[in-house]
């Protein structure tokens, strides 16, 4: 597990679907508050949608870098030499959107709060990120301000 690291390039070889599904089976085995599994994983491989996501993300990142980010945050990011440009969002063969469900909707339409959402989604994400290199793949984690 110590061999994992963030990778910002990608091979052009297609991803075997079974390998991806196995990674999500591992992630979905995570423990969660009241076993509510408050996550949804969405895989995007369509180049046109990846482009839209990159464009939307770069618009937000530009505002973040130039207007919203506090100075000390920018200082912390400086050694990584990253900026608002996010070519990886198109280079990557697949993007995985990880959504946290703050509430669930019962069959009668009532909204009910989920518990320990951040913790549970964080654990599931950690398992996914750990499973990916064990399956021979690489990943780059990004929080998206969309």
Ligand X SMILES: Cc1cc2nc3c(=O)[nH]c(=O)nc-3n(C[C@H](O)[C@H](O)[C@H](O)COP(=O)(O)O)c2cc1C
Residue written as token pair 């079974």: 18
- Identify whether the C-beta of residue 115 lies closer than 8 Å to the C-beta of residue 36: yes
Our finding on whether 45 is near ligand X (CB under 6 A) is no
The reply on whether position 142 binds ligand X by CB under 6 A is: yes
Pick 9 or 103: Cβ nearer ligand X: 9
**Given the rule CB under 6 A, which of 21-29, 33-41, 90-98, 137-145 is the region that contacts ligand X?**
137-145
Q: Is 130 in the site for ligand X (CB under 6 A)?
A: no
Please give the residues from 68 up to 87 whose contact with ligand X meets the rule CB under 6 A: 80, 82
Q: Which helix (H) or strand (E) holds 126?
A: helix 117-134
In sequence order, what DSSP letters do the residues of 67-125 get, joined into one string? IIS-HHHHHHHGGGT--S--THHHHSS-EEEEEE-SEEE-TTS-EEE-SSHHHHHHHHH
Residues touching ligand X: how many (CB under 6 A)?
A: 8
Q: If binding is defined by CB under 6 A, does position 1 make contact with ligand X? A: no
CB 58 → ligand X: shortest distance, Å? 11
Beta bridge partners of 113: 103
Instruction: Select the residue interacting with ligand X from 5, 18, 35, 108 (CB under 6 A).
Output: 5
């Amino acid at each position: 597990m110590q061999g994992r690291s963030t990778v910002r390039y990608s091979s052009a070889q297609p991803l075997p679907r079974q390998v991806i599904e196995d990674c999500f089976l591992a992630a979905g085995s995570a423990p969660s508050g009241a076993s509510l599994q408050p996550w949804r994983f969405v895989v995007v491989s369509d180049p046109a949608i990846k482009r839209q996501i990159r464009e939307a993300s770069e618009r937000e990142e530009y505002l973040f870098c130039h207007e919203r980010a506090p100075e000390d945050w920018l200082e912390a990011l400086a050694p990584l030499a990253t900026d608002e440009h996010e070519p990886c969002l198109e280079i990557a063969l697949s993007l995985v959107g990880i959504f946290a469900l703050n509430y669930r909707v019962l069959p009668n339409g009532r909204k009910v709060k989920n518990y320990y959402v951040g913790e549970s989604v964080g654990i599931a994400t950690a398992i996914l990120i750990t499973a990916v290199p064990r399956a021979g793949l690489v990943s780059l984690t990004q929080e998206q301000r969309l």
